[in-house]
Amino acid sequence: MNFNKIYALGLRHLYLIMNSFPRVLDLIYWPTVQIFLWGFISKFFTLNSDYYSNTVGVILTAAILYDFLFRASISFNMMFLEEIWSRNFTNLFIAPIKISEIIVSLTLTAILRTLIGLVPAVLISIPLFGVSILELGPPLVLLLLALYLFGISLGLFVTSGLLRFGPSFENIAWASLFFLAPLGCIYYPIDILPNILQILAKGLPLVHIFEEMRSILLNESVNYSNIFISSIISVIYFVIGIIVFYASYFGAKKRGTLINMGE
């Protein structure tokens, strides 16, 4: 691994953000709107639901964590799409950078994009709704890591699709997370799902992460085995994501789609 090259690719995306105020605004705007929307919904449920009674911000915390996952995945996809949109794909893939270095760079840079969007929104939620995700305590770090890894894994699957099918796969990039959201049990317990879907849902780290989040906030108890399971599942998806990405890269080389890929 050459960290100078990883940094160079990260710098490319950092410059892209720094050169455009509307781009920064766009990164901040959507998470902030989400926080406002779910903040008011959360407030309503807190006042009118037995399940959520006296537990301020469970829904809003879930919304923040889900947005973290969403931003991580979309950031990864967006950075890859930027190369296609700018017709820079060939230049990137003929540069002496390893595929592993590209993955590491996109993974690390996605953190930056995610935080630019989410930190202001999280800070707003404290004075406005009296909710802080820090109330989750030390397990928050582990939950965020598991979410981040899963978000990047989804990013890897989508970018693999872009390599395989070209820019026409772009719409899937946007739809990928909405597809999984119902099974993720983000805002409701897993018992709500029909039995067959419960089995599928348990194969996703999201269920374990959000069940644990609710358990911490509602019961004030931490079950580290839940966090461990979610982390293991996220790591499995991440490894599969890397394998699929490499397979798509070699497939794209065979089909000749790496050259002149662009809109």
Partner 1 sequence: MFIQVKNLTKIYKDYLAVNKINFFIEKNKTIGLLGPNGCGKTTSIGMMLGLITPTSGDILINNKNLKSFSRDQILSRFNFASPYVELPKKLTVKQNLEIYGRLYGIENLSERINEISNDLDIKNFFDRKTGELSSGQKNRVSLAKALINKPEILLLDEPTASLDPDIGDFVRSYIQDYKSKNKVTILLASHNMSEVERLCDSIVMMRKGKIIDNGTCEELIKKHGRNNLEETFLKLARSRDEF
CA 134 to chain centre: 19
Nearer to partner 1, 17 or 124 (CB): 17
Least distance in angstroms from the C-beta of 98 to partner 1? 6
Task: State whether the Cα torsion 37-38-39-41 is positive or negative.
Answer: positive
End-to-end alpha carbon distance in the chain: 31
Least distance in angstroms from the C-beta of 162 to partner 1? 16
Nearer to partner 1, 11 or 247 (CB): 11
Nearer to partner 1, 203 or 262 (CB): 262
**Those residues with Cβ within 8 angstroms of residue 116's Cβ, 6 or more apart along the chain or in another chain:** 17, 24, 27, 28
Nearer to partner 1, 160 or 231 (CB): 160
Q: How far apart are CA 149 and CA 73, in angstroms?
A: 9
Residue from 219, 168, 159, 161 nearest 189 by CA: 219
Burial of 29 (0-12, 13-18, 19+ CB in 10 A): middle
CA 30 to chain centre: 14
Nearer to partner 1, 221 or 260 (CB): 260
**Those residues with Cβ within 8 angstroms of residue 46's Cβ, 6 or more apart along the chain or in another chain:** 52, 53, 54, 55, 56, 57, 58, 59
Nearer to partner 1, 197 or 258 (CB): 258
Q: How far apart are CA 263 and CA 261, in angstroms?
A: 7
Give residues in contact with partner 1 (CB under 8 A).
2, 4-5, 7-9, 11-12, 15-16, 19-20, 82-83, 86-91, 93-99, 250, 253-256, 258-260, 262
Least distance in angstroms from the C-beta of 3 to partner 1? 11
CA distances to 76, 120, 129, 146 from 72, in Å: 6, 16, 24, 11
Residue from 212, 52, 216, 59 nearest 147 by CA: 212
Least distance in angstroms from the C-beta of 84 to partner 1? 11
Least distance in angstroms from the C-beta of 75 to partner 1? 16
Least distance in angstroms from the C-beta of 152 to partner 1? 22
Least distance in angstroms from the C-beta of 106 to partner 1? 14
Nearer to partner 1, 108 or 180 (CB): 108
